[in-house]
A and B are shown apart, each in its own frame.
Chain A
């Protein structure tokens, strides 16, 4: 590389840039929006990650957290832990709360000890000292509850509720817990009901086999090495069966969800950047077309092609820098400016700040995208022969040489690699690369097809229509660019709308139709007969299924520590936490055994397991392999005797692990039942069952689906916002395309008027041209977007497809109107121009 060439090119570029940013506005806007979106998503995500890390101790509730299902720690273990630091325990379970008026609701009961909380503090309304909050006063224990419970049971402060056998007085509303990550898991079924452990003992709920979780938090002396302590703990109690978490990895689960959401939104933002790339390419082409004479002149004056290439490359990189700076400034500033709002909206800690890493990646994305898209039109323009100054015919602009093609391929590979490297799920990112490349090619082809179709259409005598159609295919037409850029943005939006509509409809309509109406949990073995007879006597309610339930955690797979087992990402949850498990003599209804055989109903041999076929495949195990499962502190090793295909989407009672009868039959356990009301019946089965059995909790499926649906709406907003940005990028490209043809359009309008066309005729032909373009683009986007949505729903989510024509039609209609309005604004000025000045100048 010749440095004097570069110096000279930089000098020429700086002279050219003095003219201002005219001609680069669309270039900068397209790039800045894409870079800004990626920087914003990254900055918000990083602020949450840092918030989670900084608050790890508080969120976990201690430096170390231990969790056990069904049982508490032993006296030896307690003694050992108390010697090491301050210990606090929490007991949690689901239950029902009853108001004095016999209203009832499912609650998430959390019973704390006197040491709680070890870190942070409760936020209560009104503020209350913990000791007085929970104390027994006039035969009622104190409680602090989530305001949802107040609403559902129609309560005021100091009102009374019954949980199990105990009456509680609501003394405060629980506004915030310091340890949301430590106490409960997964999607919370039932709002929080906070009491003391002393009061819990009086409820009679903590029965043998009840679904109770015990959490222990330890505050270690300052300076304790967490890793060393953890190792010591694991070595001292290797068979404790507890799940250990420490403050350094307190929020791994939340971070996993966050990273996945970030990745999805980032990929949509990357689509916006790629669409912006089309704008960059168009803007470069327009700009370089205006520079044809300058390039040819420089060549005539002895400038080498390389010098000219460096000259404009430097100029375009300068514009890229401006766009990138604007983008990352936006991405960095928004989280800072709206820190308070975001902190109050987000359910997780948010530590606003300027984080270099996401800004760095956004910058690299911006430069690579810009380079990938401006290189080809730039290199082509640099091929302009000097003879272009003398005549336009006989001018042969060669295709760029092999070095340019090589550089372009390297840039595209680097961009793809960057998208994959920065993604958490490399497979999804790879599919995204493939999908977006295919979409680019499809839309490029579709644009050409529209142009070709227009060129073949000659059957209309109406001048306005003929002109409109001719405008779609004549030299310099922007049809392909508009179809590509707006179409891509619109496709993303259509796909997102279709997927969201499908999921929401599944949750609101389809699933409730085939799912049970209620689950009843914690049915004690001695209550089964009465429970069944109550259900049967109601007449209108059927028990779909009732099975015993225990909890257990897979400790080893074929003797290997489960933490060391390689599992496909989508099934890691199987090994991560305690899982519900059951035992059965007969295979569950509609079970499909795909490998091995079900045991005889009178089997009484060594423990066998029927395992989920998909999980087995993800873990690389099959019939004959062994699993060691911790059940109530006892490791049980069982052999996999069959693999089952589970239908998860009917919301029935499904277990990954089903044990053979025999050994496990005698372990403490409760039952879970799924029931369904007869259509049109309105028996208050929840009231009947929970009034009779105060320890049994009723989970209303519709409430769960509503919770999921609300969650979907919240997640949907962020994805929709990113998708809308892709459409904005597309419309910016449309704006650029309109600007590029502005002079031609003015000229057309003037000549048509000179030849006797009325203003109405000219405007009608322009209106028709953009109308046709809008209809073509919207139709293609509707088709491809729906197809992408169908593929996501049926192939990725393995769900049933529900056509969402309303969402598709609404989305594409809005976009088509936008194209039409954009086109008309662009041509309005052309219509207003007087003919004489333009003709005189010519």
Chain B
């Protein structure tokens, strides 16, 4: 499903070139849930962006769901994400001028699905927000906004779900509820989940845990 082979990522920062990823090798199977842990600046988010096609690897092979991302242009990558990837952010990133329903319907609408709104409605119902579909992000609590983001990620039928510290902006109780929902929906949709977290308890819920340090995988629970 996800294959990274000797992936390097070098970016031009304000103070010069920075080596972010230094030869990452990773294979994640379909339906597998993987937690990524590591200190700030270790390359977790960068690895996730490379998987999502949001950042192009400087070298190495990146193949997701059978597609070599290095061969896709900007629009090709957009279509790839639309068909394969769902992303959940720490800051939710909902469009403030759109209602919950419209936010959830966007990916399906972009993909040209005629039943975008029916699917969005079902998706919102599955996260327990049927009564909030006409509300705007500003009228929702943090937990509710993250649930809308979850519904949005699953509504397009994504095969891979990437979550970047999805509970970072939530209290412990709400965060726990979101994590439970995330895992149950992943299981229900047989989605591969890549979850970045600082919380060992959340990481322990995944099938597999990997740890990054200084741009390299230093621990992989699946490796004997």
**Interface, chain A (partner B; CB < 8 A):** 4, 8, 11, 15-16, 18-19, 293-294, 296-307, 385-387, 389-391, 393-394, 396
On chain B, the residues within 8 Å of A304 by CB distance are 74-75, 78-79
Q: How large is the interface on B (under 10, 10 to 19, 20 to 34, 35 or more residues)?
A: 35 or more
Given A300-B54, A300-B81, CB of A16 within 8 Å of CB of B97: yes
A-contact 0/1 string along B14-58, CB 8 Å cutoff: 100010000000000000000000000000010011001011000
Q: How far is the CA of A300 from the CA of B94 in the complex (A)?
A: 11
Q: How far is the CA of A123 from the CA of B208 in the complex (A)?
A: 102
Q: Which of B93, B96, B102, B111 is A302 in contact with, Cβ under 8 Å?
A: B111
Q: How far is the CA of A386 from the CA of B93 in the complex (A)?
A: 11
**B-side contacts of A19, CB under 8 Å:** 97
Q: Is the CB of A301 within 8 A of B152?
A: yes
| A301 engages B97 (CB within 8 Å) | no
Residues of A near B6 (CB, < 8 A) are none
A-B contact pairs, 16 of them (CB 8 A): A16-B97, A293-B93, A294-B95, A294-B96, A298-B95, A300-B52, A300-B81, A300-B87, A301-B81, A301-B106, A301-B110, A302-B85, A303-B110, A385-B54, A387-B55, A390-B49
Given A301-B81, A301-B156, A389-B93, 16 other A-B residues pairs in contact with their CB atoms under 8 A: A15-B98, A15-B102, A18-B97, A293-B93, A297-B94, A299-B54, A301-B82, A301-B152, A302-B78, A302-B85, A302-B107, A303-B110, A387-B49, A390-B45, A391-B45, A393-B13
Confirm or deny: B12 has a beta carbon within 8 angstroms of a beta carbon on chain A: yes
Q: How far is the CB of A257 from chain B (nearest CB, A)?
A: 52
Q: How far is the CB of A354 from chain B (nearest CB, A)?
A: 36
- Kindly state the separation between the CA atoms of A300 and B110 in the bound complex, as whole angstroms: 12
Looking at A15, A300, A302, A393, the one whose CB has the most chain B CB atoms below 10 A away is A302
Tally the A-B contacts, defined by beta carbons under 8 Å.
83
Complex contacts, B82 vs chain A, CB 8 Å? 301-303
Report the separation of the CA atoms of residues A433 and B97 in the bound assembly, to the nearest whole angstrom.
Answer: 40
Q: Is B112 an interface residue (CB 8 A)?
A: yes
Q: Is B89 at the interface (CB under 8 A from chain A)?
A: yes
Task: For the complex formed, measure the closest distance between the CB of B161 and the CB atoms of chain A, giving whole angstroms.
Answer: 13
Q: How close is A229's CB to chain B, nearest CB, in angstroms? A: 68
Question: Which of chain A's residues has its CB closest to B164's CB?
Answer: A390
Note all chain B residues with C-beta closer than 8 A to A300.
52, 54, 81, 87, 93
In angstroms, how far is the closest chain B Cβ from the Cβ of A396?
7
CA distance in complex: A19, B89 (Å): 24
Q: Which of B11, B75, B78 has the most chain A CB atoms inside 10 A of its CB?
A: B78
Which residues of B, 79-109, contact A by the 8 Å Cβ criterion?
79, 81-83, 85, 87, 89, 91, 93-98, 102, 106-107, 109
In B135-191, the 8 Å CB interface with A consists of 152, 156, 164
User: Min CB distance, B64 to chain A, in Å?
Assistant: 14
Chain B residues within an 8 Å CB radius of A11: 109
Q: A293's closest neighbor in chain B, by CB?
A: B93
Q: In the assembled complex, which residues on chain A have CB atoms less than 8 Å from the CB atom of B96?
A: 294
Residues of A within 8 A of B111 (CB): 302
Query: Which residues does B use to contact A, with CB under 8 Å?
Result: 11-14, 18, 45, 48-49, 52, 54-55, 74-75, 78-79, 81-83, 85, 87, 89, 91, 93-98, 102, 106-107, 109-112, 152, 156, 164
Q: Which residue of A has the minimal Cβ distance to B55?
A: A387
User: For residue B87, which residues in chain A have a CB less than 8 angstroms away from its CB?
Assistant: 300-301
Is the beta-carbon distance between B110 and A307 smaller than 8 angstroms? yes
A387 partner residues in chain B, CB cutoff 8 A: 49, 54-55
Shortest distance from the beta carbon of A19 to any chain B beta carbon, whole Å? 5
Residues of A within 8 A of B55 (CB): 387
The 4 closest A-B pairs by CB, nearest first: A302-B82, A394-B11, A297-B93, A302-B81
Closest A residue to B99 by beta carbon equals: A15
Across the interface, which residues of B come within 8 angstroms of A297, CB to CB? 93-95
Q: Inside 8 A of B45's CB, which chain A residues have their CB?
A: 390-391
Smallest beta-carbon distance B39→chain A, Å: 15
8 Å CB contact of A299 from B12, B78, B83, B97: B78
A305-B74 CB under 8 A given contacts A294-B95, A300-B54, A393-B13: yes
Main secondary structure of the interface of A (DSSP, over half): helix
Q: Closest CB of chain B to A388's CB: distance in Å?
A: 10
In contact, A298 and B54 (Cβ under 8 angstroms): no
User: Chain B residues near A298 (CB, 8 Å)?
Assistant: 95, 106, 110
Could you tell me the distance in whole angstroms from the C-beta of B75 to the nearest C-beta in chain A? 5
**A394 partner residues in chain B, CB cutoff 8 A:** 11-13, 18
Task: Specify the chain A residue showing the minimal Cβ separation from B45.
Answer: A390
Q: With the chains together, A159 CA to B193 CA distance in Å?
A: 108
Q: Give CA–CA (A306, B109) in the complex, Å.
A: 15
Give every chain A residue within 8 A of B12 (Cβ-Cβ).
394, 396
Q: Which residues of A contact B14 (CB under 8 A)?
A: 393
- How far, in angstroms, from A304 to B95 measured CA to CA in the complex? 16
Which residues of chain B are within 8 angstroms of A18 by Cβ–Cβ distance?
97
Chain B: CB-nearest residue to A295: B95
Partner of A389, one of B78, B89, B107, B110: B89
A788: min CB distance to chain B, Å: 43
Closest B residue to A11 by beta carbon equals: B109
Chain B residues near A385 (CB, 8 Å)? 54
Chain B residues, CB < 8 A from A8: 109-110
**Separation of A87 and B50 alpha carbons in the complex (Å):** 94
Give A306 to B81 CA distance when docked, in angstroms: 16
Given A15-B102, A18-B97, verify A386-B54 contact (CB < 8 Å): yes
Which A residues touch B112, using CB under 8 A?
Answer: 4
Q: How far is the CB of B175 from chain A (nearest CB, A)?
A: 19
In the docked arrangement, what's the CA distance between A107 and B152, Å?
88
Q: Which of B48, B93, B102 neighbours the largest number of chain A CB atoms within 10 Å of its CB?
A: B93
Q: Is the CB of B110 within 8 A of A302?
A: yes
Cα-based distance from A393 to B40 in the complex (angstroms): 14
In the assembled complex, the Cα of A18 lies from the Cα of B98 at a distance in Å of 9
Q: How far is the CB of B18 from chain A (nearest CB, A)?
A: 8
Q: For residue A390, which residue of chain B has the nearest CB?
A: B45
With the chains together, A303 CA to B89 CA distance in Å?
17
Q: How far is the CA of A391 from the CA of B45 in the complex (A)?
A: 9
How far is A307 from B74 in the complex, measured between Cα atoms in Å?
A: 12
Establish whether residues B54 and A302, one from each chain, have CB atoms under 8 Å apart when the complex forms: no
CB distance from A292 to the nearest CB of B (A): 11
User: Shortest Cβ distance from B8 into chain A, in angstroms?
Assistant: 15
Q: How far is the CA of A11 from the CA of B98 in the complex (A)?
A: 11
Whole-angstrom distance from the CB of B84 to the nearest CB of chain A?
A: 9
Given the complex, which residues of A lie within 8 Å of B18, measured CB to CB?
394
Residues of B within 8 A of A293 (CB): 93
Q: Which of B74, B75, B97 contacts A15 (CB 8 A)?
A: B97
Taking CB atoms, residues of chain A closer than 8 Å to B81 are 300-302
Chain A: CB-nearest residue to B162: A300
Cα–Cα distance between A296 and B164 once the two chains are bound (Å)? 15
B57: min CB distance to chain A, Å: 13
Q: Which residues of B contact A15 (CB under 8 A)?
A: 97-98, 102
B193 nearest CB across to chain A (Å): 17
Choose one: B75, B89, B95; the contact of A306 (CB below 8 Å): B75
B93: A residues at CB distance < 8 A: 293, 296-297, 300, 389
Report the Cα distance A294→B102, complex, angstroms. 13
Q: State A836–B182 Cα separation when bound (angstroms).
A: 37
Kindly provide the distance from the CB of B167 to the nearest chain A CB, expressed in whole angstroms. 16
| Contact indicator A303/B49 (Cβ below 8 Å) | no
The CA of A396 and the CA of B11, in the complex, are separated in Å by 10
Write out the residue numbers on chain A whose beta carbons fall within 8 Å of the beta carbon of B79.
Answer: 302, 304
| Min CB gap A399→B, angstroms | 15
A390 to B51, CA, bound (A): 14
A301 to B85, CA, bound (A): 8
Who on chain A is nearest to B86 by CB?
A: A301
CB distance from B107 to the nearest CB of A (A): 5
Distance between Cα atoms of A41 and B37 in the complex (Å): 68
Which residues of A are found within 8 Å of B98, using beta-carbon distances? 15-16
How many Å lie between the Cα of A299 and that of B91 in the bound state? 16
Residues of B within 8 Å of A294, CB to CB, are: 95-97
A301: chain B residues within 8 A (beta carbon) = 81-82, 87, 106-107, 110, 152, 156
Instruction: Give the distance in Å from the alpha carbon of A385 to the alpha carbon of B111 in the complex.
Output: 20
Name the CB-closest residue of A to B14: A393
